């Protein structure tokens, strides 16, 4: 495993499935914690965000793993939305890229940036107004972010979308723009991201120590903050598509492989850290 700080290209990463024996070996005598993204990781990327439904196999693999270790779903989606889609009670959920965190039975509720809600409300209205005539453009309000989805926008209209987003950003200095797969997003301009959120969760759980081995699986640019946060102390896995620099250690090819990985990891922990075969 590389320990330097230079990002690797995604196509250079070793397969997490082929490296499972090494990973399970690192777990021996330690507790695992799994942080996992939703879109593109637990479900394939789809044309419309509301169609990203979790498969029964994936839900089963998540339940299996949650029986063996703490599992937290860390998503750019709104907290209520990601919780409804995953629909497993005893998981931790972090929505809006970690700005909105909630544990099982209301434990560990935490919200970052509540004072930014009025600015988000205003920017949302302005975005809806200025983007309403662009075909295929979808504005999605999450509690702590506004996503502008342009996957279905014609190429000729893309610059109009970005221009409109940038104009609104200019009049809301306390918001900042981030990006991801076919999405622009406005969120509070605070030093907070998925990486900071998982650091906070680990501390709250008393799991910021050596005897804990955190895993993180994600597919997008916002997951890179988590990869960097856990680069020295955890195991980070990218679900890869296009070739780009990444701070992750390992890769999986698609959500179907994530499902196999979660299942085999759960089985291995159950059997006391011994690797189990494919079945
Ligand atoms: Mg994702």
Q: Which domains does the chain have, with CATH numbers?
A: 8-112+192-270 (3.40.50.1000), 115-188 (3.30.70.1020)
Whole-angstrom distance, CA of residue 123 vs CA of residue 107: 31
Record the tokens describing residue 185, joined without a space.
């997003």
- Three-state SS sequence of 79-111: HHHHHHHHCCCCCEEEEHHHCEEECHHHCCCEE
**For residue 74, how far is its CA from the centre of ligand 1 (angstroms)?**
9
Among the listed residues 265, 143, 152, the one whose alpha carbon sits nearest the alpha carbon of residue 216: 265
CA–centroid distance, residue 125 to ligand 1 (Å): 26
What separation in Å is there between the alpha carbon of 179 and the centre of ligand 1? 12
pLDDT in tens, 225-269: 999 999 999 999 999 999 999 999 999 999 999 999 999 999 999
Interior/surface letters 236-265, b for 16+ CB within 10 angstroms, e for the rest: bbbbbeeeeebbbbbbbeebebbbbbbbbb
Is it the case that residue 275 has pLDDT exceeding 70?
Answer: no
pLDDT digits (tens, 9 = 90+) for 123-181: 999 999 999 999 999 999 999 999 999 999 999 999 999 999 999 999 999 999 998 88
Check whether 277 has a pLDDT greater than 80: no
Question: Exposed, middle or buried, 162 (CB in 10 Å: 0-12/13-18/19+)?
Answer: middle
Return d(Cα 57, Cα 262) in angstroms, integer.
11
- Reply yes or no on whether the pLDDT at 18 is more than 90: yes
pLDDT confidence bin for 104, thresholds 50/70/90: confident
The arithmetic mean of pLDDT across residues 100-126, rounded, is: 92
**Residue that is written with structure tokens 């799994």 in the block:** 34
pLDDT of res. 276: 59
**pLDDT at 33 (0 to 100):** 96
Rounded distance from Cα 84 to ligand 1 centre (Å): 17
Cα of 11 vs centre of ligand 1, distance in Å, is 18
Report how far residue 107's alpha carbon sits from residue 132's, in angstroms, rounded to the nearest whole number.
Answer: 39
> 174 C-alpha vs ligand 1 centroid, how far in Å?
25
Nearest residue to 13 (alpha-carbon basis) of 251, 236, 219: 251
**What is the torsional sign of CA 200, 50, 126, 150?**
positive
Model confidence pLDDT, tens digit, residues 42-82:
999 988 888 999 999 999 999 999 999 999 999 999 999 99
Higher pLDDT, 48 or 16: 16
Measured in Å, residue 75 CA sits from the centre of ligand 1 at 7
Q: Is 156 annotated in the active site?
A: no
4, 11, 37, 156: the catalytic one is 37
Mean pLDDT of 27-36: 93
- Residue 221 Cα, ligand 1 centroid: separation in angstroms? 8
Q: What are phi and psi of 31, to 5 degrees?
A: -95, 135
All residues at 6 or more sequence positions from 83 whose CB lies less than 8 Å from its CB, including other chains:
93, 95, 102
Please tell me the distance between residue 252's alpha carbon and the centre of ligand 1 in angstroms. 13
Angle at 250 between CA 7 and CA 99, to 5 degrees: 75
The mean per-residue pLDDT over the stretch 86-102 comes to 95
| Beta-strand pair 70-74/175-180 | unpaired
User: For residue 209, what are the contacts with CB-CB under 8 A and spacing of at least 6?
Assistant: none
pLDDT above 50: residue 2: no
Q: What's the pLDDT at 67?
A: 96
Cα separation values, 133 from 26, 27, 136, 138, 147, Å = 53, 53, 9, 11, 17
Task: Determine the pLDDT at residue 279.
Answer: 43
């Amino acid at each position: 495993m590389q320990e330097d700080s230079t990002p690797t290209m995604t196509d250079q990463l070793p397969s997490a499935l082929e490296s499972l024996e090494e990973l399970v070996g690192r777990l021996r005598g330690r507790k695992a914690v799994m942080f996992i993204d939703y879109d593109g990781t637990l479900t394939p990327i789809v044309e419309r965000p509301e169609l990203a439904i979790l498969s029964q196999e994936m839900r089963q693999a998540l339940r299996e793993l949650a029986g063996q270790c703490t599992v937290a779903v860390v998503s750019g989606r709104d907290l209520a939305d990601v919780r409804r889609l995953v629909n497993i009670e005893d998981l931790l959920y972090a929505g809006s890229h970690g700005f909105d965190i909630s544990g099982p039975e209301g434990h560990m509720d935490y919200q970052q940036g509540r004072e930014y809600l009025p600015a988000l409300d205003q920017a949302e209205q302005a975005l809806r107004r200025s983007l309403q005539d662009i075909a295929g453009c979808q504005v999605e309000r999450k509690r702590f972010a506004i996503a502008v989805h342009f996957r279905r926008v014609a190429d000729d209209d893309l610059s109009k979308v970005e221009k409109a987003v940038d104009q609104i950003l200019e009049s809301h200095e306390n918001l900042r723009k981030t990006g991801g797969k076919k999405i622009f997003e406005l969120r509070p301009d605070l030093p907070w991201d998925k990486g900071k959120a998982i650091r906070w969760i680990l501390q709250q759980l008393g799991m910021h120590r050596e005897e804990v081995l955190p895993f993180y699986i994600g597919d997008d640019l916002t997951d890179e903050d988590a990869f960097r946060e856990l680069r020295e102390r955890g195991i980070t896995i990218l679900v890869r598509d296009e070739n780009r620099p990444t701070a992750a250690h390992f890769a999986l090819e698609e959500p179907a492989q994530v499902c196999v990985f979660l299942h085999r990891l759960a089985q291995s922990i159950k059997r006391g850290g011994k690797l189990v075969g494919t079945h």
